[in-house]
Structure 1
Amino acid sequence: MISIDNFRPKGTVKLADISTLNDLGLSDDEKEEKLQEVQKKLSKKQDAMYAHNKYAFLICLQGMDTCGKDSLIREVFKEFNMRGVVVHSFKTPTSTELEHDYLWRHYLALPEKGKFAVFNRTHYENVLVTRVHPEYILNENLPNINTVEDITDEFWQDRLQQINNFEKHIAQNGTKVLKFYFHMSKEEQRKRLLKRLENEEDQWKFSVGDLKEREHWDRYMACYEEAISSTNTEYAPWYIVPADDKKAARYLVAKIIWEHLQLLTDIIEPELEPDVKANIEVYKKMLQD
């Protein structure tokens, strides 16, 4: 029996103490079969959620390059009705986005009631990439921030609290927030980057920037540890997903989403109005004439 609570961090996170590999005790075929089962259940429940029109789900995916987010999105949500899920991949902020606060573009991408939104890279980039490269913060043209030296530890603590406030606000208004960190080993990333270079069909996925960011691996791990530890709340929980086994990671994420959907016991498919239901046979006859 796989308990999703085993993947929910408790207290201060130390990633070095958490395994990046977990096959969940299943063969590859079993992982795929179980994923397919959950895919169908998620799809059916999402249809009911869409009709119910009171809740939305925000699925946040974070991890180092090659951790498997793109393929997971494709596999986990493949059975969804297209109108029920929207994927957003946040890139470097545009000039327009930089004219607003850093959360503005994420507010714009929040899911409508009844829908899922998947953030492939998320608002957490603002306490991860920018913390590893604080010079990026200068592009935001913030008051009292004129040089990198002005960006203090208090600045980052404030930003983490702002993220907590953002997530609490949307959670209190019906958006269920689930956050996943794909915990991949540096060695596994090396293998996946090499595979991209060796396979001509995948070479387009390779970026020299991936190698440059890899040089900051330890710094990224430290930033992830603090971000997860500081923002792992009941209203927006984190799950640390061992990501060296892609098939296991996909099934685990699907299972976690499904179990949280199951907690929404008030979601039921709407029924026809009594007078309409009483005249179904009449309407059928009208259509047959």
Structure 2
Amino acid sequence: MNTSRYLVKENEKIDLSKFATAENNRPDEEELQKKLIPETVKKLKDLHLKLNAQEEKGILVVLQAMDAAGKDEAISYIFSNLNAQGLRTMTLGKPTETELAHDYLWRIHDGLPARGEIGILNRSHYEEVIAPRVHDLLKEEPIPDDVIGEDIWAVRFRQINDFERYLSENGFPVVKFFFNVSKEEQKKRLLTRMKDPNKNWEFSFSDVEERQHWDDYQQIFEDMLNHTSTEHAPWYVLPADDESYSRYIIAQVMVELLEEINPQFPEISGEDKEKLEEAIRLLENE
């Protein structure tokens, strides 16, 4: 797979409407489910185990999308296969009063990975350049008036880029996935949740309310992608109507990133090796 097809290149402006929400030129479903996805997830699992053992670098994964685009399912089908000890997941909702009393990046810190971990943000700091912009919420938040200028969103894009560069330069590369779901497919998935009693718990009335702002969201998503996809923290736009193939893309991108990091199991040497050999002898002679 050529994952660069889904990459938003730095300083190259995109038109989000020209990114497909489904992939026609892809392997058949049986090959994806029985061969490609399992093989790629196994590679990912093996590489993650080495990352976790080495404890030198961590990875921050950002998942961003409209409701019902497939973020939760991607976590379940891909990342849940990894060693839980080296995995951290945070789901962000509407900011609490405590969170609003801090800077807007403050609330994601508990979700950031330690060395050896993959941290997943299901929604993320990007919420702060999306929802407040759609609903004009900044005036309702306890932010000083002199901070809210006409260029507030450009300032926040720059701040987010600086923050992600900081993470990357300190050994925590960032990779971001935008689930590009069509309005029709989202409608289909929401109706499934609403009509199936076993899926009612997944539905929120706000999901339907937010659809009324669909065009605004698409414009803001495009702006976000164009201003915050960088070499150290790239965005990948997934054809999210195709859930299986989107999961395959995520797994493949993660494998490529980990292969670039090239984590290795730590080697025991010197005095520690002698202690290990002595411990082995003690156990064998019990």
TM-score by length of 2: 0.94
SS in 2 for 1:175: coil
The farther-off stretch of 246-255 and 197-206 is: 197-206
Structure-2 separation of matches of 1:172 and 1:112 = 14
Q: CA–CA distance in 2 between the matches of 1:241 and 1:141? A: 35
Kindly state the Cα deviation for residue 92 of structure 1 after the two structures are TM-superposed. Answer: 1.0
- What does 1:1-289 correspond to in 2, within 5 Å? 2-10=1-9, 11-32=12-33, 33-134=35-136, 136-144=137-145, 151-265=148-262, 267-277=263-273, 282-288=278-284, 289=286
The secondary structure found in structure 1 opposite 2:20 is coil
CA contact (8 A) 1:56 1:115 kept: yes
Residue identity in the other structure for 2:23: N
- How many positions carry a matched residue from both structures? 282
Question: Which letter does structure 1 place at the counterpart of 2:7?
Answer: R
Which 10-residue stretch deviates more, 198-207 or 230-239? 198-207
1:59 corresponds to which letter in structure 2? Answer: V
Tell me how large the CA RMSD over aligned residues is.
1.6
Corresponding letter in the other structure for 1:274: G
Tell me the TM-score normalised to structure 1 length: 0.93
Question: For structure 1, which segment, 41-50 or 20-29, has the greater mean C-alpha deviation from structure 2 after superposition?
Answer: 20-29
Gaps of at least 5 residues in structure 1 are: none
Deviations 1:26-73 (A, max 9, x none): 111211221111222111111211122111100000011100100110
Mapped partners of 2:243, 2:164: distance in 1? 28
Larger mean CA deviation between 174-183 and 31-40 belongs to 31-40
How much has 1:110 moved relative to structure 2? Answer: 1.1
Secondary structure at the counterpart of residue 80 of structure 2: coil
Which amino acid counterpart does residue 240 of structure 2 have in structure 1? Answer: A
CA distance in 1, matches of 2:276, 2:200: 57
Distance 1:285 1:140 in 2: 65
Q: Distance in 2 between matches of 1:81 and 1:108?
A: 19
Contact 1:180 1:241 in 2 (8 A): yes
| Higher mean C-alpha deviation, range 219-228 or range 271-280 | 271-280
Post-superposition offset of 1:98: 1.1
| CA distance in 2 between partners of 1:94 and 1:179 (Å) | 24
The 8 Å contact of residues 13 and 225 in structure 1, kept in 2 or not, is answered as yes
Secondary structure class of the residue paired with 1:284: helix
Structure 1 residue 280 displacement after superposition: 5.2
1:272 match: secondary structure: coil
Q: Is the 1:98–1:139 Cα contact (8 Å) retained in structure 2?
A: no
Identity of aligned residues (%): 36
Aligned partner letter, 1:95: E
The DSSP-based 3-state class of the residue aligned with 2:107 is helix
Change (3 A) 1:282 1:101: closer
Q: Distance between the aligned counterparts of 2:152 and 2:272, measured in 1?
A: 59
Q: Describe the SS at the equivalent of 2:226.
A: helix
Q: CA deviation at 1:133?
A: 0.9
Question: 1: distance between equivalents of 2:241 and 2:230?
Answer: 26
Q: Please tell me the residue identity of whatever aligns with 2:174.
A: V
Contact in 1 for aligned 2:63/2:177 (Cα 8 Å): yes
Q: 3-state DSSP class of the match of 2:119?
A: strand
The answer to whether the Cα contact below 8 Å between 2:21 and 2:239 also exists between their aligned partners in 1 is yes
Write the letter of the residue equivalent to 1:4: T
Aligned mates of 1:42, 1:129 — CA distance in 2: 33
Aligned-pair CA distance for 1:79: 2.0
State the alpha-carbon separation in 2 of the partners of residues 280 and 112 from structure 1. 27
